[in-house]
Structure 1
Amino acid sequence: MRYTLGFRLPRENLDWVRHDLTDAGWRTRLVVRHIALMIPVSLALALLPGPWWVRLMVALLAFMASTLTVAVSADDLRRSRLHRHGLEVPPGQRR
């Protein structure tokens, strides 16, 4: 959960972080983790008072906007996490 929220993991998890951010499917894992985090947040937003359609639209807007933002900024998020853990960005992936 801490990793999903952007916190740094202990040094003993460095190999796992490297695998997570450099192996095939890293982008999918990043988006799926974000979706898993946003489902309870969206459900909480849907429970706010108001007409049902407003609550539904607020929850959908938060879910879709944040997921699109993560998908579009995946490369930058990956670079930031690699840097935070003291790892190098793979060659050909630097800006």
Structure 2
Amino acid sequence: MSSQLREHPNTVERVEYLCGRHLPDSMHEWVVRDAAGPGHNRRYYTRGILMFVPIIVAILVIPTAWWVKVAMILLVMLPAGFFLTALKDIYLKHLLIDNDIDPDIQTGKWRAEHDRRAAAYDSKFRSGPRRYA
């Protein structure tokens, strides 16, 4: 079977995808599910934290007290967590654009919540001109 007809990447393609490689058009649905489907936040943060594992291992082999090691790890992980959170939407759009997918796609849960809030706003504030007595 040709790699162009498959809907899921194999292990090598998945690693290349995580490194920024473009997947074939037949795998667009998989990319959307990976980037914006159920569990996408967990996958995003796991991938982001895995980049810091070598740094954490290097800190753990330094011969010093345990509380110094914990403090150094926190000095690395706290800013990393803030930056991961701040850049999540930018990463998602970049990932989708790299795979030739509409970058404005959102998760179904987000869309349902947005529609619910928009309907509540419309019913409260856009029900026609108010008459003040």
Normalised to the residue count of structure 1, the TM-score between the two structures is 0.67
Query: Are 1:21 and 1:78, in contact at CA under 8 Å, matched by a contact in 2?
Result: yes
Local SS of the residue matching 1:63: helix
Alignment of 1:53-92 (within 5 A): 53-91=67-105
Q: Distance in 2 between matches of 1:17 and 1:74?
A: 16
Alignment of 1:29-68 (within 5 A): 29-48=43-62, 51-52=64-65, 53-68=67-82
Q: CA RMSD in A?
A: 2.8
Report the alpha carbon displacement of residue 61 of structure 1 after superposing the two structures with TM. 1.8
Deviation readout 1:9-37 (Å, 9 max, x if unpaired): 43264432221112233223211222233
Identity of aligned residues (%): 20
Name 1:8's counterpart in structure 2: 21
Task: Kindly provide the amino acid, as one letter, of the partner of residue 21 in structure 1.
Answer: A
| Aligned residue-pair number | 91
Deviation readout 1:34-57 (Å, 9 max, x if unpaired): 2233234322233246x3344432
Between 1 and 2, higher relative CO (CA 8 Å, sep ≥ 6) is seen in 1
Q: Distance in 2 between matches of 1:2 and 1:64?
A: 28
Structure 2 unpaired stretches of 5+: 1-14, 108-133
Q: Distance in 2 between matches of 1:48 and 1:26?
A: 34
Q: Distance in 2 between matches of 1:9 and 1:48?
A: 39
Structure 1 unpaired stretches of 5+: none
Task: Kindly provide the amino acid, as one letter, of the partner of residue 60 in structure 2.
Answer: A
Report the alpha carbon displacement of residue 75 of structure 1 after superposing the two structures with TM. 0.7
Query: Are 1:42 and 1:63, in contact at CA under 8 Å, matched by a contact in 2?
Result: no
